[in-house]
Every structure is written in structure tokens, then in C-alpha cells.
Amino acid sequence: MFLFSAYADESGSQCKYLERKLPGAVIIGVKKSGTYALLRYLSLNERVRPALKENGCNLNEIHFFDSDLNYSFGLEWYKKQMPLVCKKTEEKDYVVIEKTPGYFRSEKAPERIKKFDQNMKVILIVRNPVKRLQSELTHCDHRQKKLGLNRKCLKMNDFFENVFLNGNQSDLFGNKFVRNSLYYLDLKKWLRLFKINESLHVVDGDSFIQRPWLELSKIEIFLNLPNKIQRDNFIYDEKKNFYCLNETDGQNCLGKNKGRKEHVYLSQFVKSKLEIFFNKWNFLLFDLIGKNFNW
């Protein structure tokens, strides 16, 4: 569908024709690894257009490839979720990027994405598994508190302590917070269809927090985009403890639910035991992707 426009696309670029463009790349996860910051910051490159529906503080992720219901609505529905972008010209083309962290653990998403577009570029961001797990527990606790539910996520330290002191470590595999951090197990299924570095790029989420511009430049190369994102696009915010966007009218940090100050308590004992438990899986992951991250 093309619409004549004398105005601008959703990001303010002037153009003659607008179109809803399907994504050329997708951020598949892992949840609580920095997926939102990654997409927001990648959009500093004017050739990137994010498919993000922001609704106040909430983000409505599209969940097309991992939800049977949404998938049943078909491609026309999916296309309607996409941003309006300037129609491709000889000088300029845009890449729309969608992010749904739910895709990474989904059994159906890899095949569906491959079927949708053989040339789809897949981006995965992973973090130190213990830090990611703690971030997910915190997120879960906030949700339970908001809904007035029993705050079970707040008490997860007791579960871990019990497993490490009295129980069997195989119980850990049944814990969804642990399972979501076992990146190796899910990545294997993606690599049956997507070739590492060619069509699937893995981002070190801890390095992305420390030096976002470095990881973003690697993604620009992966997406065959000109390198636009630079060190001076960012400014470190001492209060937030994260890099924020360095904009003409000041610094622009992500909302308060991204980069939370307080995290659900995990004892030093539990954290060390979890680090040891994940170590073997990290090595398997690094072997699989042919890269070593510093965690």
C-alpha cells in the first residue's frame, strides 16, 4: 500500500511516498538482555526504522511468529503493525526492525521466520545469565506487585538456596528464570536454519551496556548499513548508571523500567553457585558462536 504524502514518515523524514514495510531484521531476544535499548539505539541510524508500539511506559511487542493467534491473522495483519516509512529510492532504502523477545524460546518462530523471508537477518542479544535472571525476577516482581498478586518472585532466593544446599541441581532446569538463561539450548535450534554471522548475529549485552556504540557498529555491518552510530551519540548518566542518548536538548535516558535501580535480592552464595552452574553452558554457547564474551 503506498500513500501520497507531502509530509513525513513516523520518524520525521520528508518523502513523497510512504509505505508500510515488512521487517528485514528481527531482534528475537533474550528477554531482559537489553532488547529495547538495542532497538532504540540502533534507530540512531536513519536507515533503521523500529517496529515498536509504545503506549506510555508500556511496549506492545508484536508477537507475530510466536503466537498462534496472531500468526493466524496472516501477513496483512503483520504488515499493519509496521511503521510507515519512506518508499525505497535509488539512494536510500530502509530496514524495518521488529523486536519480540518471546521469539527466542518459541519452537515455531524459527521456521515461521525463515518461511516468511529466507533472507531475514536475526539479531540475538545475550547477557551474563545470572544478571539476566535477576533482572527477569525483578520484572516479574514488579508485575506481581502491580497486579496485587502473591510476590513469589521476591522469594526466589529461598528456592535457589534450597536447591544448592539440600536439593538436586536438575531441579534448576524446571525453573523458567534459569531456563531462559540457558541460551545454548535455544540457540541450537535457530542455527539449524540461520547461519551464524551471516544471517544470525549475537550481541554481547554486557559489552553493549559498557560501550553501546561498539556493539551497534557491528550490527550496522551485519545489516549492510553505512556506519552512522558514533561514540558521541551517547552520554553516560551517573544517576541512571547507563549510557543515554546525547541529544541537542540534553540527555535522553530510557524510562524507569529500563535500567532499574533495585533488583530482587539474591545472596552472594546463590549468585556464586548460579555462576558456576551456568559456566559450562556459557562455554558451550561461546563454542557454538565462535566468540568469547567476558562472562
Ligand X SMILES: Nc1ncnc2c1ncn2[C@@H]1O[C@H](COP(=O)(O)OS(=O)(=O)O)[C@@H](OP(=O)(O)O)[C@H]1O
DSSP string covering 87-100: PP-SS---EEEEE-
| Least distance CB 15 / ligand X (angstroms) | 30
Give yes or no for residue 219 binding ligand X (CB under 6 A).
Answer: no
The answer to the question of whether 146 is labelled as a binding residue is no
The answer to the question of whether 127 is labelled as a binding residue is yes
Within positions 112 to 151, which residues make up the interface with ligand X, using CB under 6 A?
135, 138-139
DSSP bridge pairs for 59: 54
User: Amino acid identity, residue 151?
Assistant: R
Residue 26: how many CB atoms within 10 A of its CB?
Answer: 25
Residue 276 burial (10 A CB sphere; 0-12, 13-18, 19+): exposed
Catalytic residue among 21, 31, 32, 99: 32
The answer to the question of whether 261 is labelled as a binding residue is yes
The answer to the question of whether 256 is labelled as a binding residue is no
| Least distance CB 27 / ligand X (angstroms) | 9
Among 35, 128, 180, 181, binds ligand X (CB under 6 A): 35
Residue 285: how many CB atoms within 10 A of its CB?
Answer: 22
CA 71 to the chain's CA centroid: 20
Among 209, 225, 229, 289, binds ligand X (CB under 6 A): 209
Distance, in Å, from the CA atom of 122 to the CA atom of 94, rounded to the nearest integer, reads 16
Give yes or no for residue 229 binding ligand X (CB under 6 A).
Answer: no
Show binding-site residues for 3'-phosphoadenylyl sulfate.
Answer: 127, 135, 243, 258-263
Annotated catalytic residues are 32
Which spans of this chain sit near ligand X (rule: CB under 6 A)?
Answer: 31-37, 101, 135, 138-139, 209, 242-243, 254, 258-260
